[in-house]
Structures are given as structure tokens and as C-alpha cells.
Amino acid sequence: MTGRLVVASANAHKAAELQDLLVSLGIGLDVVARPADLAVPAEDAPDFIGNARIKAAAVAAATGEWALADDSGLEVDALDGAPGVRSARFAGDEASDADNVALLLDRLVGLGAVTAAERRARFRCCIVVQSPPDADGSVIELVADGTVEGHIAGAPRGNGGFGYDPVFVPDDPVGDASAPGRTFAEMSGIEKASISHRGRALRAIAPQLARLP
């Protein structure tokens, strides 16, 4: 695939990061953020792929260009998969990251979930790339998923990242082998990207993009 790819985010920094990663994977696309005045529909699907599809379809139709959208979140086994698609709004629509983390930890303590085995969790990301609709409304769609398994720490640790990063401890070893059990927030951005759910989803969709004309 050559040409331009519009990200279903108005954040130019996110678009630049995505372009850098795709270039490192051999995909030379001009990745741009969606226009700031382009609103996207509410993300009200019951799953990550549905929300990503809503955003990708809206941006592709509005811009007439290929669009990429992702939706991701945290799934905690002891909470029956919650926060899930409501990860960003777990403690309410106006909740901060700290609010969401505090509620998550409170819920786990309330259940008596103390050990790592009782706090099993995963970050999941779904990416959808969609073409603008043709004359009969049909589209080309690419889908990829990425998951990283881990558990929830007993308290926040680290100053990096965002969201639930301060309490998510991935299973996969990365970086300094003498410092196991680090949260995402205790890792460098490069370390986190090497095993993160979003990085894995992007690496999974890159070959599909490369096969497009």
C-alpha cells in the first residue's frame, strides 16, 4: 500500500508515532491525524473490534481516504473481563486515569484477590484499517489484534505511560533481566512498545498493509 493513511485520532503526535513504527516495519505511508473538526460517532459497540470499526468507517467515509482506528483496554479475569471496552470510563465518563486505577484496585481488594494468580489480566488491542466506500457502499477492511498477558500489581508503580500502566505487570520479560516484575509505567517507551498489545497489533497488520496495491 502506498499513499496516505488517516488515523481516527486528532492527536498529531500519535499519528507521527504510528508512522515511525510502520516505517520501521517497511511500510512507507504518509500517516496523518484526522481533521480536528471531524467528529467521530460514539464508541458504543460491545467489543473492541466494533468500536475500532465505528471509528475507521466514519473517518474513511468523511475523508475519502484509507483510515486506521484502534480500540484497546484492560480485561481482568476476577472482574469477569472488566473494565473491557469501558476501560477509559471505568470510574465514570469524566474519570481520570488515577480514578480508574483506584476503582480497579478497590474492586480486587473487595474480592479478596491478593496473589498474582488471582489478579490475572491482559491488555488487548484491536486495529481496523478501512477503505473509503466505493459507489455501491462496499469497503475493504483489514483487522488485527494484539494481546499481552500479565497481572495487576497491588499498588501503582512507575511514572511512565498512561491509563492502567502503573498497575499492569506483563508476563513477558523485557529489558533488565535483574529487574523482573516491572509495571508498564516502570519501563521505557521502547521496552513497553516491544511487548505491548498495541505494538503487537500494529506488527500484525503491517503485512496486510504491505499486500495492498
Q: Please state, as a whole number, how many other Cβ atoms lie within 10 Å of the Cβ of residue 121.
A: 25
The DSSP string of 39-59 is: -------SSHHHHHHHHHHHH
Rounded-to-integer distance, Cα 46 and Cα 95, Å:
20
Per the residue annotation, which of 70, 71, 99, 172 is the catalytic one? 71
Rounded-to-integer distance, Cα 23 and Cα 30, Å:
10
Q: Check if 71 is active-site.
A: yes
Kindly report the backbone phi and psi dihedral angles of residue 11, in degrees, each rounded to the nearest multiple of 5, phi listed first.
Answer: -85, 105
Annotated catalytic residues are 71
